[in-house]
Chains A and B, each alone.
Chain A
Amino acid sequence: MYGGNCCHNNNSHIGGVNLEISRNWRLRNQRYRLVGTECGCGHRSFPPRRICPTCRENPQNPVQFSGTGTVYSYSTLYEAPEGFEQFIPYTVALIDLDEGPMISAQLTDVDPEDVAIGMRVEMVTRKLKEQGESGLIVYGYKFRPIVGCYP
């Protein structure tokens, strides 16, 4: 389990929708801003952890990651779970963040044939899915090829 973002469960019954609204709300800091945790020993985690996986120290301090990293591995999907159909085809990647942790996320603004291992990417906040026509719009991190500052 690398990240909390690629949730493919889509609860269609009413109780599930309410549960999912509260779960999405609790996750907003890590989803919108890539807020993880940092330990006194220097280890950084994403998603956030209560206990450091290397030195077992507790508590951990929140830290916002810069959002830049490198594609470690990837896979392109041509069939999608419910709620993700409009994104087909799309690529999901394991990304080695510059500050340490590995994170799994959807890639965006890139054609599947142009994705490569070692590609430099940056985090952007995009629509992850919509809970139908009348439900919640869920926003969160995706990664795209780095956009420079000047032409």
Chain B
Amino acid sequence: MLTEIVLGDDMKPNQHTGIVGYGVYIPRYRISGCEIARVWGQDAGSVPVQEKSVPGPDEDAITIGIEAAQNALKRAQVPPEKIAAVWAGSESKPYAVKPSSSIIAEAIGATPHVEAADWEFACKAGTEAMQACFALVGSGMGLYALALGIDTAQGRPADPLEYTAAAGGAAFLIGKGEESLAVLEASHSYASDTPDFFRRESNRYPVHGSRFTGEPAYFHHVVQAASELMEDIGRTPEDYQYVVFHQPNTKFPLTAAKILKFPPEKVKPGLIAPYIGNTYSGCSVLGLAATLDIASPGDRILCVSYGSGAGSDAFSFIVTDLIEERRMRAPHVSVYIERRKAVDYAVYLKYTKALVMR
């Protein structure tokens, strides 16, 4: 089933690697687009997502990462001390200086003989960490490596991003191909200096270039990474049962699918932004996890992230027989989506620490 090494622009380690375990976490609280629109006198009919997840008062990217990592280990059933690297991708690090990865590594029992580091590239920090994990395991430097995409994103009040900036994350334990529930076929990364969205140090909220975020930024990078990868390995959209894109809203991933000639039904199993919003570094990886929750052995999945600034990582996976048993060992994405408690704008402010308590 696995193809021979092809010389091209695609990236593939010398040894077969893949996803040995995956796990997710989404906070329990939700705020609806209508509720945010009510506060700012906006049209509730044109909100970009139905609702978004809101972190509880005791949650941050680290606690999200700990639960996602524990779920990945439950699926993989790999002893934590065998993990060579814990690499956490996030743009909402609880500490400006102090790695999130070392706290997560400690909490899951992977310390002290472990490489821990934090990765950053706007919304694609999680897939960036995954790329590095494939390389580490593929080179034989480590047996297993854990990649996380975790965020508690915040948009400026009344800004369009306030409707979508959400909290959640996923963790992927990368290991050898023969132990994997989904084998990496190949990947392709694509980046350029495109200033569509940024935040300077000591500023709380990011700046984004409205219309500029579409064509030259999101669509260009996503479409290039996906089409170059498929071309490199001789695949077409017909070869894939599922495709997952980064989801800054409900519309963008469906439009990207249309451009690449994927029918919407191949996108929908991994399309979770309508229910939980854009979880930034957690976004495309949560979509991949939701797809793995329902995929069958032999299915091929294309996963394409996007990070502002700007770049995309595209991965081609082939699902193996091991998926059936392992996905039953930890909560599915839909369990966390359905575990929801709606909050109003006042409680949302309290939970996101916008209220001054003393």
Contact = CB atoms under 8 A, between A and B. Distances in A.
Same complex: yes
Interface of A: 28, 32-33, 64, 85-87, 108-109, 111, 124-128, 137, 139, 142, 147-151
Given A86-B57, A86-B357, A139 B328 contact: no
A147 B331 contact: yes
Given A85-B357, A147-B336, A147-B339, A127 B63 contact: yes
B290 to A, nearest CB: 12
Interface in B247-261: none
17 contacts: A32-B107, A85-B357, A86-B353, A86-B355, A87-B57, A124-B63, A126-B59, A126-B63, A127-B57, A139-B103, A139-B107, A147-B335, A147-B336, A147-B339, A149-B335, A150-B328, A151-B332
Contact of A109 (B28, B338, B353, B355): B28
A148 B56 CA distance: 20
Nearest to B336: A147
B38 interface: no
B332 A150 contact: yes
Interface string B52-65: 00001111101100
Given A64-B109, A125-B67, A147-B336, A137 B95 contact: yes
Interface in B39-60: 56-60
A150 B58 contact: no
A127 B57 CA distance: 8
Contacts of A126: 56, 58-59, 63
Interface in B20-44: 28
Contact of A149 (B331, B341, B353): B331
A124 B67 contact: yes
B335 A127 contact: no
B350 interface: yes
Contacts of A87: 57-58
B338 A127 contact: no
Interface string B316-358: 0000000000001111101110110100000000100101011
Given A32-B107, A86-B350, A127-B63, 6 more contacts: A108-B56, A125-B63, A137-B62, A149-B331, A150-B328, A150-B335
Contact of B329 (A64, A111, A149): A149
B179 interface: no
Contacts of A111: 341
A151 B62 contact: no
Contacts of B223: none
B66 interface: yes
B66 A125 contact: yes
The 6 closest A-B pairs by CB, nearest first: A126-B58, A32-B107, A127-B58, A85-B357, A125-B66, A151-B334
A127 B151 CA distance: 15
Contacts of B62: 137, 139
Contact of A127 (B60, B331, B334): B60
B94 interface: yes
A127 to B, nearest CB: 4
Contacts of B60: 127, 137
Given A147-B336, A149-B330, A85 B358 contact: yes
Contacts of A139: 62-63, 66, 103, 107
Contacts of B66: 32, 125, 139
B288 to A, nearest CB: 18
A32 B106 contact: yes
Contacts of B56: 108-109, 126
A28 B353 contact: no
Interface in B193-238: none
A109 B109 CA distance: 24
A108 B351 CA distance: 13
B332 A149 contact: yes
Nearest to A28: B106
B335 A108 contact: no
Contacts of B28: 109
Contacts of B339: 147
B96 to A, nearest CB: 10
Contacts of B57: 86-87, 127
